[in-house]
Amino acid sequence: MTHNELPLFYVFHVYFFGLVAMISAVCFVTRRSPVAAALWLVNTMFCLAALYVLLDAQFIGVMQVLVYAGAIMVVFLFVIMLLNLGHPSELDDARGIWWKLAAGGIGLAMLSQVLVLTKARLPESLVLPEGAIAEQIAKSGAIAPLAGPLFRDYLLAFEVTSVLLLAAIVGAVVLGKRKERGHAA
């Protein structure tokens, strides 16, 4: 499908949300205040969610808002406020000019890499026929086609993820627990 075949409405929104997402991301890494940075990140997440919806992945778009823009960002802001990190004046800018240049260089490398990737053509056999996803959604809804593979083909990966989360919790508890020296017998 080329751009010409897509409705102008669609193309406009892809570019609009893509542009806003990029600007927000740049603001996110350049703000000195953690709270402002976090809010820009929320904005980026919202734009990505909109892009997912435009790509016919409505469920993932909703999840993006609920989980990332919602739950995770709220916890993030709580942590910033509880630790009282919200004052930019107290934070030294650890990023020297060379680090900024290096980050810019990596950013340019990633950009050129993305430009190379846009030249890539997928083999015909791997591309879904046009309208296949819309047809699938019309037939069984947006969630069922996701749930099937998740609990059948990727069952093991799904279960391992829960162990991974457990390990993260145990790690946080171990690090958070205070233990005094000389406790040993």
- Contacts to another protein by CB under 8 A: 113, 116-117, 119-120, 122-123, 125-126, 148-149, 152-157, 160-161, 163-164, 166-168, 170-175, 177, 179-185
Residue reference for tokens 């919806």: 53
Q: Residue 3 or residue 179: which is nearer to another protein going by CB?
A: 179
Q: CA–CA distance from 15 to each of 3, 8, 18, 132, 134 (Å)?
A: 12, 11, 5, 24, 22
Q: Residue 12 or residue 91: which is nearer to another protein going by CB?
A: 91
Whole-number minimum distance, CB 83 to another protein, in Å? 15
Residue 72, Cα to own-chain centre: how many angstroms? 11
Q: Residue 12 or residue 141: which is nearer to another protein going by CB?
A: 141
Whole-number minimum distance, CB 23 to another protein, in Å? 21
DSSP 8-state secondary structure symbol assigned to residue 72:
I
Residues 56 and 136 sit within 8 Å (Cβ to Cβ): no
Whole-number minimum distance, CB 15 to another protein, in Å? 22
Distance CA(73)–CA(96), nearest Å, equals 27
Whole-number minimum distance, CB 9 to another protein, in Å? 27
Distance CA(169)–CA(177), nearest Å, equals 12
Q: Residue 82 or residue 175: which is nearer to another protein going by CB?
A: 175
